[in-house]
Structure 1
Amino acid sequence: MSVLIVIPARYASTRYPGKPLVELTGATGKKQSLIKRSWNASMAVSGADKVVVATDDPRIKDHAESFGAEVVMTSETCKNGTERCAEAFDVLGGTFDVVVNLQGDAPLTPAWFIEDLVAGLLANPVAEVATPVLKTEGRALRGFLEDRKAGRVGGTTAVFGANHNALYFSKEVIPYTGKDYADDADTPVFHHVGVYAYRPSALGAYPRWPIGPLEQLEGLEQLRFLEQGAHVLCVEVAARGRQFWELNNPEDVARIETMLAEMDVA
């Protein structure tokens, strides 16, 4: 079973232009770019046969190659990371059994999130796509709610059925809870971790499908699978004491740097 990890990265982000090249300071004071930290996260995953950065920007290409990453150049017409992964998969010959999309704004992704994700997809023959979800504690949930109150688009939440089939993903905080939780108390809200594992057939079909109204409204690429009736499996992963957050807005830099310091990550 061969596994390809693709790190899609674009320079022209609407909310945060140049985001992949933003430097984050770790616990020892060492600065590393967002794309380098995402590359480090990918290289820690066991069972991956190849890891590549997929981009359309020469600045990202040059920087990624400077720290030893393999880069696949993709077109400027890719609308999101999934389309970029599909193009990179084709450029590489389409010979892998599973393609993992580790988005370039998720440097805190632990290796076991991806390892558990691939295992979950392979264990469920009906699933076409799998994606991790992480039960939030009170502290993280407050971060979501504070972002929404301030008008910032923060993390994404997910709801799923008893069989862990995805029902919906949203940039709003769902489900509604209407109560406060202690910092370390479990809540019923699940943080959607922006990583995907695709079977090649689903990944190949994705760019041919039209953008539906839900994807258009939420700006969430995974909703295209749901709108087309694809089986998306939510794999619950364990934090094991690690904090997790994606870099969505400039304000997230300080939040992630604080997490790196608290977890003693260089």
Structure 2
Amino acid sequence: MKRVIFIPARFASTRYPGKPLVQLTGATGLRKSLIQRAWEAAKSVRGADGVFVLTDDDRIADAARAFGADVLMTSPEARNGTERCAEAVAQLPTPPDFVINLQGDAPLTPPWFVEALIDRMAKGDVEMTTPVLLCDAETLTNFVTDRQNGRVGGTTAVMRADGSALYFSKEVLPYVGDLTNPPEVWHHVGVYGYTPAALQAYMSTPEGPLEQAEGLEQLRFLENGIPVTCVPVDGKGRVFWELNNPVDVERIEGVLAKEGIE
């Protein structure tokens, strides 16, 4: 397996405990767990040789195996999905060329987002990549509304003209003073591509103050001088949103209904 997709999932989420098993209602009324919807999104990606759910919780593992997923068990000590991916690479029979980390709370991730990362990683000149999406009016309003109400929603990215990342934040960056005439705001999509070497480097460096403050694992790369390449993707009219808080269930179900996803 040269190109694998890992879906890290943990039960003990700080903001929303048990969220991988939260049931989401699709367009036809069919209810599926968050982790199943994330797995189905991963299975629709072209160019991947395998898809694995990574977890340290038997409840998630049992649910994943029940809908047909391959599962790799990781340790409870893994502090984030990237550390979980590093552990899982060692369980594969041979090291892959690269790994895609599709967050288990992002079931609306379109397959072409992940395929764009696979294409970029396949060129062999980057160590770590992540997609970014220019915010549309609805998503930007959701971002600003969440922060005004004291909720942490999605993540924004700030990057150089060449696509190399400068910073990621749970704040809305740059500052949005007027929603009727906002600046460009880039939504960071919760998918990562790494080489095995980048994962090893990540595990050998300590968690830094920015990662601790923001709770964003990708900042460890930047804090330790490991470049992160942002890959702009086109939403093609689909509203992208992650399940970070209970209020996001209604938002995601609304998109499922709009897109006709069962």
2:199 is paired with a residue whose SS is: helix
1:225 is paired with a residue whose SS is: helix
Cα contact 1:41–1:111 (8 A) shared by 2: yes
1:259 is paired with a residue whose SS is: helix
Tell me how far apart the structure 1 counterparts of residues 229 and 122 of structure 2 sit (CA, whole Å): 11
4+ residue runs of structure 1 moved beyond 4 angstroms?
A: none
Tell me how far apart the structure 2 counterparts of residues 243 and 177 of structure 1 sit (CA, whole Å): 20
Tell me how far apart the structure 1 counterparts of residues 73 and 257 of structure 2 sit (CA, whole Å): 34
Aligned residue number for residue 146 of structure 1: 145
Identity of aligned residues (%): 59
* Cα displacement (A) at 1:177: 3.2
Match of 1:250 among 246, 249, 256: 246
Match of 2:225 among 226, 229, 249: 229
What amino acid maps onto 1:175 in structure 2? P
What amino acid maps onto 2:114 in structure 1? I
| Runs of 5+ consecutive residues of structure 2 not aligned to the other structure | none
Aligned residue number for residue 103 of structure 2: 103
Cα contact 1:137–1:187 (8 A) shared by 2: no
1:9-48 matches, cutoff 5 A = 9-48=9-48
Residues 129-138 or 203-212, more deviating: 203-212
* Cα displacement (A) at 1:181: 3.3
* Cα displacement (A) at 1:95: 1.6
1:119 is paired with a residue whose SS is: helix
Q: Normalising by structure 1, what TM-score?
A: 0.96
Output the aligned Cα RMSD.
Answer: 1.3
Q: Normalising by structure 2, what TM-score?
A: 0.97
Tell me how far apart the structure 2 counterparts of residues 66 and 128 of structure 1 sit (CA, whole Å): 34
Residues 198-207 or 18-27, more deviating: 198-207
Aligned residue number for residue 256 of structure 2: 260
Aligned residue number for residue 115 of structure 1: 115
1:179-258 matches, cutoff 5 A = 179-181=178-180, 188-258=184-254
Aligned residue number for residue 169 of structure 2: 170
Cα contact 1:135–1:187 (8 A) shared by 2: no
CA distance 1:81–1:94, shift in 2 (3 Å): farther
Aligned residue number for residue 134 of structure 2: 135
Tell me how far apart the structure 2 counterparts of residues 35 and 255 of structure 1 sit (CA, whole Å): 17
* Cα displacement (A) at 1:124: 6.1
What amino acid maps onto 1:115 in structure 2? E
What amino acid maps onto 2:208 in structure 1? G
| Runs of 5+ consecutive residues of structure 1 not aligned to the other structure | none
Aligned residue number for residue 54 of structure 2: 54
CA deviation map 1:94-138 (0-9, x unaligned): 52001000010000001100000121233361x210000000011
CA distance 1:222–1:146, shift in 2 (3 Å): same
Cα contact 2:167–2:219 (8 A) shared by 1: yes
* Cα displacement (A) at 1:139: 1.4
